[in-house]
Structure 1
Amino acid sequence: MMPPGLLGEDPDSESRRQRQREQLREWLIQQQSELAAERHQRKIEEQRYDQSRVDMDNKALQLQSTEMERRKAATLATKEYNLAKIEEKRHQEEEHNDEGVDVEPTLGMVGVPGLCPSSDRRAPPESLQHIIQFQKYQIEEKKRVEQERKREEEQHDRVRLDSARTALLIERQQARLNKQLRRHLDSTNVKLAEIHKQQKPDIERGCIDDSFFSKFNTCSR
Structure 2
Amino acid sequence: MFNVELTSERIARERLETRRKREAERQERIFKEKVRTIGVDVKALDMQVEEKNAREEAARTEEAAYDAEDRRYNFEACVHQNRQKKKSREMGKALMNYRHQHQMPSTRREFDLNDPDCYRKLDPGDAQMMLPGLAGEEQDSESRLKRQKEQLREWLLCQQKEHEEEMLRQKMEGWQYEQSRKEMHDLAVELHKLEMDRKKATAVAVKDYNLAAAEARQTEEKEGNKEYDGSQQHALDMVPGMCPSQDRREPPESLQQVVQFQKHQIEEKKRTELEKKQEGDLYNRIRLDSVHSALLMERQQKRLSKQLRRIQDSTNAQLAQTRRQQYVTTFSRTVCAF
The TM-score, its normalising length taken from structure 2, stands at 0.47
Pairing 1:21-170 to 2, within 5 Å after superposition: 21-90=158-227, 91-92=229-230, 94-95=232-233, 102-105=246-249, 108=251, 120=255, 123=258, 125=260, 127-170=261-304
Q: Percent identity?
A: 11
The size of the alignment, in residue pairs, is: 191
Rounded Cα–Cα distance in structure 1 between residues aligned with 2:192 and 2:236: 64
User: Is the contact made by 2:198 and 2:297 (CA closer than 8 Å) also made in structure 1?
Assistant: no
* 8 Å Cα contact 2:205/2:286 also seen in 1: yes
CA distance in 2, matches of 1:96, 1:171: 70
Write the deviation string for residues 11-34 of structure 1: whole angstroms up to 9, x where unpaired. Answer: 852452243033123213303422
Q: Evaluate the alpha carbon distance shift between residue 99 and residue 119 of structure 1 in structure 2; reply closer, same or farther with a 3 A threshold.
A: closer
**Preserved CA contact (<8 Å) 1:68 1:152:** yes
Letter in 2 for 1:176: R
RMSD: 3.5
**Residue 202 and residue 136 in structure 1: after superposition, are their counterparts in 2 closer, same or farther (change >3 A)?**
same
On the 8 A contact 1:57/1:163 being kept in 2, the answer is yes
Decide whether aligned partners of structure 1 residues 158 and 122 sit closer, same or farther in structure 2, where only a CA change above 3 A counts.
same
Letter of the 2:282 counterpart:
E
Alignment gaps of 5+ in structure 1: 110-117, 205-221
The 5 Å alignment of 1:194-213 reads 194-204=328-338
Alpha-carbon distance in structure 1 between the residues aligned to 2:290 and 2:179: 35
| Contact 1:20/1:203, CA 8 A, preserved across alignment | no
Larger Cα-atom Rg? 2
Counterpart position of 1:214: none
Change (3 A) 1:97 1:24: same
Unpaired runs of at least 5, structure 2? 1-139
Aligned residue for 2:258, secondary structure, equals coil
Following superposition, which runs of at least 4 residues in structure 1 exceed 3 angstroms of deviation? 3-6, 9-12, 92-101, 118-122, 127-130, 201-204
Distance 1:173 1:16, change over 3 A: same
Aligned residue type for 1:23: Q
C-alpha offsets along residues 81-130 of structure 1, whole Å, 9 cap, x if unaligned?
Answer: 3223313432256446757862245x659xxxxxxxx98596263x3454
